[in-house]
Amino acid sequence: MTKLRFEQGETIRFRVRSDVPEEIHVHGYDVTQAIAPGETTDVSFPAEITGIFEIELHNSGEQIAQLRVDPR
């Protein structure tokens, strides 16, 4: 599993690719974004909330990464 680590105040950025239509979901931040099949999708948002969060493909329920945001 991929582990992403950022500090509060930074911009969280990552890319996701799926072979089927999917939706990425970042728990805690309630960020969702559609992923078209066969395409790479860029996801970015401000790191405002500290903690450890699950990033999953919502339709399949598969956890693909863990996001950690540390306080400054």
CATH of the domain at 28: 2.60.40.420
- pTM value is 0.93
Res 1 pLDDT > 90: no
Res 4 pLDDT > 90: yes
Range of the domain at 38: 2-70
Query: Once rounded to an integer, what is the mean pLDDT over residues 1-18?
Result: 96
Q: What is the pLDDT of residues 16-71, one digit of tens each?
A: 999 999 999 999 999 999 999 999 999 999 999 999 999 999 999 999 999 999 99
DSSP 22-69: EEEEETTTTEEEEE-TT-EEEEEEE--S-EEEEEEETTTTEEEEEEEE
Query: How many domains is the chain built from?
Result: 1
